[in-house]
Amino acid sequence: MSRKTIWGLGAGIIVLLLCPLFLPRFYVYLVSIILLYGLLATSLNLVLGYGGIYQFHHAVFYGVGAYGTTLMLTKTGLPAIFAFIAGPLVSAAFGLVLGIICIRLSKLYFGMLQISLGSLVWAIVYRWYSFTGGDDGIHGIPMPEMLSSPKSAYYFTLIITLVSLFIMWKIIRSPFGSALQGIRDNPVRSEMIGINVRMHQLLSLVLAGFFAGVAGSLFVVVDNTVFPDMLFWTLSLEIVIMCLLGGGFTFLGPRLGAAVIIALRTFVSTYTDYWALVLGIIMMLVIFFLPNGILGYVEEKFKRGFVEPEIEER
Amino acid sequence: MLEVTSLSKAFAGFKAVNHANLAVEKGEIVAVIGPNGAGKTTLFNLITGIIKPDSGRVLFKNEDITGLSPHEVCRKRISRSFQIVNVFQRLTVFENVQISVLSREKKTWNLFTPSASLAINETDEILESVGLLKKKNRTTALLSHGDRKVLEIAMALGGNPEFLILDEPTAGMAAEETSRCIDLIKKLSQTMGLTILFCEHDMEIVFGIANRIMVMVRGGTVIQGPCEEVRCNEAVQDAYLGGSDVCLM
């Protein structure tokens, strides 16, 4: 990482830390949502951008994490900390089970089966009134005192998001991350140098499920509600778009994509119900002119001038 | 060391490999030759587990490895390169070989140590031995075709193999690159003691470096023997020269 990037990141984090001090309540809420959606999109990017696995229905793990945390909070008397640990773990378990079933298929077939199974989970949550609250969802989820104000929810979200991002960043740079990217580029070759492709992909799905679950739990903290739409496939599509828009081969791209989409949804939808139309047009422009996403484009521009001397130096 | 007995594989009724037999002794360089479509690549894919055979057996060091998956075959210290360049395009030359080394050391389950700090010396040594050290930080997509073919071999070496399978190692190379590649193969055999099985269309290369030659026609083994024996064999002349009695080469 260059010094510039470190300064940039540091500045970004400081701004985020100071946000609640001068922003009105609504914007604090909005930034929290952007943070946790960014985490969600980054967790998808772990398998989609770095793993090359077409996880089309990622929202399932987000929703399962949120419901896991909520049900622990409302149905058991255990301390809240267990609920926040349970949510992501349940998501990871779902990631494992759906992964084992789907991983036999590759590429688009994987995606199709994953959408079907994910929709099944959605249908169960949608219908099981006695347990999940059905299509009403669950509202007014009790939070521990520490997290009950928007400000504290914001800081909780910020810290957990940063920690999660850091862990994912480490994973991508680890030997496992290298192997995963190798598998994305060339599965046959990876097998032939001794990598067990299916098992590595499965682990990446579990990890992605876990971090999606973290994002889901954070949503419960910020919004105090859960509803079945969190597992609906249209949300999954939105997450995929976040990745593509921001840049699927960059680490922070999906985070940027999430910010753009949430901002669009919030601000454009106050003027028109057809905010998706604006998103559609932007998406088309991105696909035509910035095939590597916004951050992918910036990186490319930035590298063009700097990469050559770097080679000479080493 | 490697013993292939009566190996067969059919694709939708077409017998790509049909009762092929092959034996390779330790330290040998064996070439597989045959006209296009004779089943050479399919044979290699069967040995390395990329395709499962319909029947027949593959023994490696007296151990049955028939039908193992590729990553298991690799663990037995059999490595291969591919005919059509098959590398990780988005990664650098260094990273390509490094993954291979890390995989052999079973470190790919490590989630938290930065890759950049691992297996550096060994990867550099391999790159040095194949002559790619100076280009180690290039993205693979920017390499010349010849260099990418050599990178293929370097990746295969990352698995620290005893047995190396090369599928047309010099295909598409310029003359100068070809001669460097031949030197490299000779070096791997002589200094590192690798057993090498390769296939090739260029007879000059085949007769230049192989100890023994196996001739494949329509999926089956026609003959396997020392170069001299193969050169003037009638069946080989039939397959290659349409029945004239001129010797190959």
pLDDT of A241 higher than 80: yes
Name the closest residue on chain B to residue A169, using Cα atoms: B112
CA-to-CA dists, residue B55 to B7, B197, B205, angstroms: 6, 21, 32
C-alpha gyration radius of chain A: 20
pLDDT of A312 higher than 60: no
B71 to A197: CB separation less than 8 angstroms, yes or no: yes
When pLDDT is cut at 50, 70 and 90, the band that residue A309 belongs to is very low
Read off the amino acid at residue B105. Answer: E
**Is the Cβ of B87 closer than 8 Å to some Cβ of chain A?**
yes
Identify which of B168, B210, B205 has the alpha carbon closest to the alpha carbon of residue B189. B210
Kindly report the average pLDDT of chain A as a whole number.
88
Is residue A62 within 8 A of residue A212, CB to CB? The reply is: yes
pLDDT of A123 higher than 60: yes
When pLDDT is cut at 50, 70 and 90, the band that residue A296 belongs to is confident
Read off the amino acid at residue B106. Answer: K
Give residue-wise pLDDT tens across range A61-95.
999 999 999 999 888 888 888 999 999 999 999 99
Closest residue to A193, CB basis, from B91, B115, B159: B159
Strands (E) in B121-239, as ranges, are 163-167, 195-199, 212-217, 220-226
Identify which of B132, B141, B209 has the alpha carbon closest to the alpha carbon of residue B169. B209
**Which pLDDT does position B241 carry in this prediction?**
67
**Which pLDDT does position A282 carry in this prediction?**
86
Which residues in chain A have their CB less than 8 angstroms from residue B109's CB?
A: 175-176, 203
**Which pLDDT does position A112 carry in this prediction?**
93
ipTM of the complex: 0.84
**Which pLDDT does position A124 carry in this prediction?**
92
B115 to A185: CB separation less than 8 angstroms, yes or no: no
CA-to-CA dists, residue B33 to A29, B177, B199, B221, B223, angstroms: 70, 21, 6, 10, 10
pLDDT of A310 higher than 70: no
The pLDDT of A187-194, averaged and rounded, is 90
Which residues in chain B have their CB less than 8 angstroms from residue A176's CB?
A: 108-111
The pLDDT of A131-155, averaged and rounded, is 86
Ramachandran angles phi, psi of B53, nearest 5°: -75, 155
**Which pLDDT does position B245 carry in this prediction?**
67
Domain boundaries, chain A: 24-232
How many contacts (CB atoms, under 8 Å) link A and B?
107
**Which pLDDT does position A66 carry in this prediction?**
95
**Which pLDDT does position A170 carry in this prediction?**
93
The pLDDT of A157-176, averaged and rounded, is 94
When comparing pLDDT for A278 and A307, which is higher?
A278
Which helix (DSSP H) or strand (DSSP E) does residue B59 occupy? strand B55-60
Give residue-wise pLDDT tens across range A9-19.
889 888 888 88
B104 to A194: CB separation less than 8 angstroms, yes or no: yes
**Structural domains of chain B, ranges and CATH numbers in brackets:** 1-77+161-249 (3.40.50.300), 89-159 (no CATH)
**Which pLDDT does position A304 carry in this prediction?**
55
Which residues in chain B have their CB less than 8 angstroms from residue A314's CB?
A: 137
CA A100 to the chain's CA centroid: 21
The pLDDT of A217-228, averaged and rounded, is 93
Burial class of residue B75, CB neighbours in 10 A (0-12, 13-18, 19+): middle
To the nearest whole percent, how much of chain A has pLDDT over 70?
96
Low-confidence ranges of chain B (pLDDT < 50): none
> Using CB atoms and an 8 Å cut-off, which of residues 59-88 of chain A contact chain B?
none
**Which pLDDT does position A313 carry in this prediction?**
32
Identify which of A180, A202, A157, A174 has the alpha carbon closest to the alpha carbon of residue A39. A157
**What's the rounded Cα separation, in Å, for the pair A35 and A156?**
11
When pLDDT is cut at 50, 70 and 90, the band that residue A294 belongs to is confident
Give residue-wise pLDDT tens across range A259-289.
988 988 888 888 888 888 888 888 888 888 8
How far apart, in Å, do the first and last CA atoms of chain A sit?
Answer: 15
**Which pLDDT does position A306 carry in this prediction?**
41
As beta bridge partners, residue B55 has B8
pLDDT of A22 higher than 90: no
